[in-house]
Structure 1
Amino acid sequence: MNMLDQELDTMSLGDLKKLQSKVSTAIKTYEDRQRKMALVELEAKAAEMGFSLSELTGAPSRKGKVNPPKYRNPEDPAQTWSGRGRQPGWVKEALARGDALDNYLIVR
């Protein structure tokens, strides 16, 4: 019997369950790190050969779908918003003034 076995034999059930949880988490995070490292290496090799990994595997790109802008700030046309996610400051200010969001639609 080695030293680790002796330590485990003296632990309470609660401590053993905590240890089991920590070991499960450590295994999962280890596997996640290994998977990410493999993906980075594969993407680098594909880029070295002039391709993206998604082109070679036929898998969809990992980049999220970009939603086109739906609203535009008339005071600064460079400021747009897709209507999804957190409202930008200029939208919040317009709504606080009582403006209708429809007034800022790009396509009516």
Structure 2
Amino acid sequence: MFDKNELKAMSSRELEKLLANVQRALSSAKARDQRQAKKAAARAAADFGLSLNDIAEVSGPLPKSKKAKAKVAKKPSPPAFFNPNDKTQTWTGKGRRPNWYRHQVATGTDPEAMRIKD
């Protein structure tokens, strides 16, 4: 193994050569591990009287992933009520009641009198 000080003392060319060697060694190790895994899988399949091809056929195709549906923005509901004191303030009749609506109802205004007529 290399000590940190040894690595710091190396030139960039030496480090690049070391990196290339490490990458080749890593690639070889992965290929070796894959071969060993295939051999182990073949032995395990043989214990059941099957081959790796038999197992591959049984598993069938992988399930298709569901496509994400694009979310469509909902259209805002049309206003159903208006504030008699300020016609620019409206409410759809859904959700929390606005303060102006609650105040009008508390002071005796009939909600139907504030309804926007179509």
Structure 1 length-normalised TM: 0.49
Q: Which structure's CA Rg is the greater one?
A: 2
